[in-house]
Amino acid sequence: MSTQETRTRIVWDYAPAPESPDHVRLRDSYGLFVNGEFADPKDGTRVPSISPSTEEPVAEVAFAGPEDVRGAIAAARAAQPGWAALSGLERGKYLFRVARLIQERAREMAVVESMDGGKPIRESRDVDVPLAAAHFFHYAGWADKLSYGLAGREAAPLGVAAQIVPWNFPLLMAAWKLAPALACGNTAVLKPAETTPLSALLLAEICQEAELPPGVVQVLPGDGATGAALVRADGIDKVAFTGSTAVGKDIQAALAGTGTSLTLELGGKSANVVFEDAALDQAVEGIVNGIFFNQGHVCCAGSRLLIQESVADVVIGKLWERMGRLRVGDPLDKNTDVGAINSAEQLERIEALVAAGEEEGALRRTVACELPERGWWFAPTIFTEVAPAHRIAVEEIFGPVVSVMTFRTQAEAIEKANNSTYGLAAGIWTDKGSKAFEVASALEAGVVWQNTYNKFDPTAAFGGYKESGFGREGGPAGLRHYVRLS
Ligand code: NDP
């Protein structure tokens, strides 16, 4: 056999590189975190939190009922005047400590986030956990400079904030919500999602370790009923919600006329627009990052891919080839690109929408790959021949599924991108700077990335238009929603 033949026969593959969970200090059972302590729920309900990649319980958590909700709000209310009376410099020191402790426990938090939620360890290790710490650092810096972040105006805290976060970025969303609220002198009651409560409970332990005054942060695991009770309870001054548009609308209706301040960060159907003059290989990497990051469980996922007709075949060909090299499987394996679907319910929603896509006539291609026997999985999928009215072009799939449409002119690209009830994010791929700015300013989206996608930074505001919600999180803009200005 010649050397040439031998070489071409080498098949490169990755050996498994699992991150060990041995160092994780999880308790068997977690209580509700109220007034600086872990407490039993009044009605005794405890529920296991299941790993979506193994279907095994990771730990048991208490579920908060209405009486627990009232108790948590009372603790937050009692602590608020003292917390607000501290100088900004002192509050900042506490936030700084929380940030440092997240960094110290980063490896453990990343593993727990991947075990509990199914996302690849590469993402929880390199994105979720460092960004969560960065948000606390960022707002630690603002705590004694509030008036500089608020155009020189005097600011008073709102009071007690009820904060409800979803399952796709459990720790990061908790940081987005808690850090600005606390920096401004508010106290908080945080409800993590039913399927991913554990990193928020580790964050509660960190609040204890940081000796945060009791009552400044409460963490109440529970289900939708806990969330519904929390937003309707007396004694709340502010509600901050991230999740589905349906629940966001329900909360908005419940709060109408109450005077409670509200910010909503809801769904999206974001357009990722590729012009013919773009660096196409770079764009393909951006498309992959835009839709397959976190299994597509991303509110700003680039789920509507708009490609200029002249390069559509080339881009789709390169994308399909790249999709075939994505590694789907064990979230704790450092080589994994696409982890587990967060829950059986979410898998059903994805499957239903994908079935609708096929029924309505779009062309489906799903990567053939071996999926683990246990757990919930969905292989990367692309739909072409998609019409703007198809459900897969309109509704949030929240899975690793991209719907491709084409356009001929810049005007058509803008019209198609804006043809959505949502307006959270968008991406533009072009080598022409003037075109990028012109298109960006015409897009109805809260965040527009140019020649990149899914880049998050604590200094940058994030939030939507239309049915993607209102209010901004991140940067000085994120302070505005936690203060009363005079
Ligand atoms: P939800 O909007 O139901 O969940 C978000 C958070 O709200 C969770 O903590 C949830 O608790 C809580 N919640 C549920 N019902 C209520 C209520 N009536 N009042 C107050 N809080 C409530 O999202 P789902 O988990 O049901 O996901 C459904 C779809 O929503 C997804 O397929 C996806 O399309 C979209 N979604 C969008 C997100 C985004 O970031 N934009 C995030 C999550 C989902 P619990 O988990 O206990 O039910």
Domain boundaries, the chain: 29-266+468-485, 271-460
Task: Print burial letters for 94-110: b (CB count within 10 Å at least 16), e (below 16).
Answer: bbbbbbbbbbebbebbb
Identify the residue whose C-alpha is closest to ligand 1 atom 47: 223
Report the relative pairing of strands 46-50 and 32-34 from DSSP bridges.
Answer: unpaired
User: What does the block give as tokens for 274?
Assistant: 């590729």
CA–CA dist 99, 137 (Å, integer): 6
pLDDT, residue 1, reads 41
pLDDT, residue 2, reads 43
Q: Which ligand 1 atom lies nearest to the CA of residue 346?
A: 32
Identify the residue whose C-alpha is closest to ligand 1 atom 13: 224
Tell how far the Cα of 244 is from the centroid of ligand 1, in angstroms: 5
CB 17 within 8 A of CB 24: no
CB 103 within 8 A of CB 133: yes
Cβ burial, residue 395 (10 Å; 0-12/13-18/19+): middle
pLDDT, residue 25, reads 87
CA–CA dist 458, 338 (Å, integer): 25
Question: Right CATH number for 29-266+468-485 from 3.40.605.10, 3.90.1150.10, 3.40.50.2000, 3.20.20.70?
Answer: 3.40.605.10
At residue 226's C-alpha, the angle toward residues 232 and 461, to 5°, is: 75
Q: Is 299 part of the annotated catalytic residue set?
A: yes
What are the distances in angstroms from CA 482 to CA 179, 182, 227, 247?
10, 9, 20, 21
CA–CA dist 399, 299 (Å, integer): 10
Q: Is the CB of 469 under 6 A from ligand 1?
A: no
Quote the DSSP letter at residue 169. S
Cβ burial, residue 6 (10 Å; 0-12/13-18/19+): exposed
**Which of 47, 247, 251, 462 maximizes ligand 1 atoms within 8 Å of its Cβ, making it the mutation to test the pocket?**
247
pLDDT, residue 44, reads 85
The CATH superfamily of 271-460 is Aldehyde Dehydrogenase; Chain A, domain 2 (3.40.309.10)
CA–CA dist 176, 300 (Å, integer): 15
Q: What are phi and psi for residue 256, nearest 5 degrees?
A: -55, 130
Q: Which ligand 1 atom lies nearest to the CA of residue 251?
A: 19
CA–CA dist 20, 330 (Å, integer): 12
pLDDT, residue 209, reads 98
Q: Is the CB of 266 under 6 A from ligand 1?
A: yes
* Under-70 pLDDT residues of the chain: 1-11
pLDDT, residue 293, reads 98
CA–CA dist 383, 366 (Å, integer): 9
Catalytic residue among 113, 123, 194, 299: 299
pLDDT, residue 11, reads 65
